[in-house]
Amino acid sequence: MSPVGETRATRLEGSTGWVLAILALLTAAAPLSVDIYTPSLPLIQRDLGGDEWLTQSSITACLLGVGIGQLLWGPLSDRTGRRPVIFFGVLGWTITSLLSALAVTPVMLLSLRGLAGLCGAAGIVVARSVVRDISSDRRAVASRVGILSMVNAVAPVVAPVIGAVIAIAWGWRADFVALAAFGAAVGLAFALTVPETLPADRRTGGGARTIASSLAGGLRNRELAAVAIALGAHAFGFYAYITSASFIVERQFGHPPIVFALVFGTNAAAMLSANLVFRRLVRRRHPSLPLGIGLVACAVSGAVLFATAAVRGPEGVLWAASIVFAGGTGLVLPSAHSWGQLTVVASGVASALTGSAQFLGGVLGSPLTGLLGVTAENLGLVMTIASSVAIVAWVVARRAERAAHPGP
**pLDDT (tens digit, 9 = 90+) per residue, 173-188?**
999 999 999 999 999 9
pLDDT tens column, 331-348: 999 899 889 888 878 777
Any idea which fold 1-204 has? Growth Hormone; Chain: A; (1.20.1250)
What pLDDT was estimated at residue 206? Answer: 64
Query: pLDDT tens-digit profile of 198-228?
Result: 888 777 766 666 777 777 888 889 999 999 9
* pLDDT recorded at residue 365: 85
pLDDT for the residue numbered 5: 43
Using the predicted structure, report yes or no on whether residue 7 has a pLDDT greater than 50.
no
Q: Is 358 exposed, middle or buried (0-12, 13-18, 19+ CB in 10 A)?
A: buried
Give the amino acid at 361: G
In one-letter notation, the amino acid at residue 176 is: F
Higher pLDDT, 385 or 49: 385
3-state secondary structure the chain: CCCCCHHHHHHCHHHHHHHHHHHHHHHHHHHHHHHCCHHHHHHHHHHHCCCHHHHHHHHHHHHHHHHHHHHHHHHHHHHHCHHHHHHHHHHHHHHHHHHHCCCCCHHHHHHHHHHHHHHHHHHHHHHHHHHHHHCCCHHHHHHHHHHHHHHHHHHHHHHHHHHHHHHHHHCCHHHHHHHHHHHHHHHHHHHHHCCCCCCHHHCCCCCHHHHHHHHHHHHHCHHHHHHHHHHHHHHHHHHHHHHHHHHHHHHHCCCCHHHHHHHHHHHHHHHHHHHHHHHHHCCCCCCHHHHHHHHHHHHHHHHHHHHHHHCCCCHHHHHHHHHHHHHHHHHHHHHHHHHHHCCCCCHHHHHHHHHHHHHHHHHHHCCHHHHHCCCHHHHHHHHHHHHHHHHHHHHHHHHHHHHHCCCC
Residue 243, pLDDT > 50, answer: yes
Whether pLDDT at 62 is above 50: yes
Q: What is the pLDDT of residue 208?
A: 63
Instruction: Tell me which amino acid residue 24 is.
Output: A
Between these two residues, 289 and 352, which has the higher pLDDT value? 289
231: nearest Cα among 353, 96, 383, 137: 353
Give the closest residue to 96 by CA, choosing from 121, 118, 116, 122. Answer: 116
Yes or no: say if 233 and 288 are a contact pair by the CB < 8 Å rule: no
Question: Does the pTM exceed 0.75?
Answer: yes
Q: Which range is least confidently modeled, 52-56, 274-278, 288-292?
A: 52-56
* 299 pLDDT tier (thresholds 50, 70, 90): very high
Whole-angstrom CA distances from 275 to 116, 203, 272 are 28, 32, 5
Mean pLDDT of 103-108: 93
Reported residue count of the chain is 408
Predicted pLDDT of residue 403: 85
Q: Break the chain into its structural domains and give their ranges.
A: 1-204, 206-408
pLDDT for the residue 63: 85
What's residue 399's pLDDT? Answer: 94
Q: Is the pLDDT of residue 8 over 70?
A: no
Same fold, 1-204 and 206-408: yes
Cβ-based neighbour number of residue 266 at 10 Å: 16
pLDDT band at 55 (very low <50, low <70, confident <90, very high): confident
Q: Are 326 and 270 in contact (CB under 8 A)?
A: yes
At residue 2 the predicted structure's pLDDT band, cuts being 50, 70 and 90, is very low
Across the chain, mean pLDDT equals 85
Structurally, at CATH architecture level, domain 206-408 sits in Up-down Bundle (1.20)
Report d(CA 24, CA 178) in Å as an integer.
18
Which of 157-161, 173-177, 268-272, 308-312 is least confident? 157-161
What's the rounded Cα separation, in Å, for the pair 109 and 56? 10
Which has more pLDDT, 113 or 200? 113
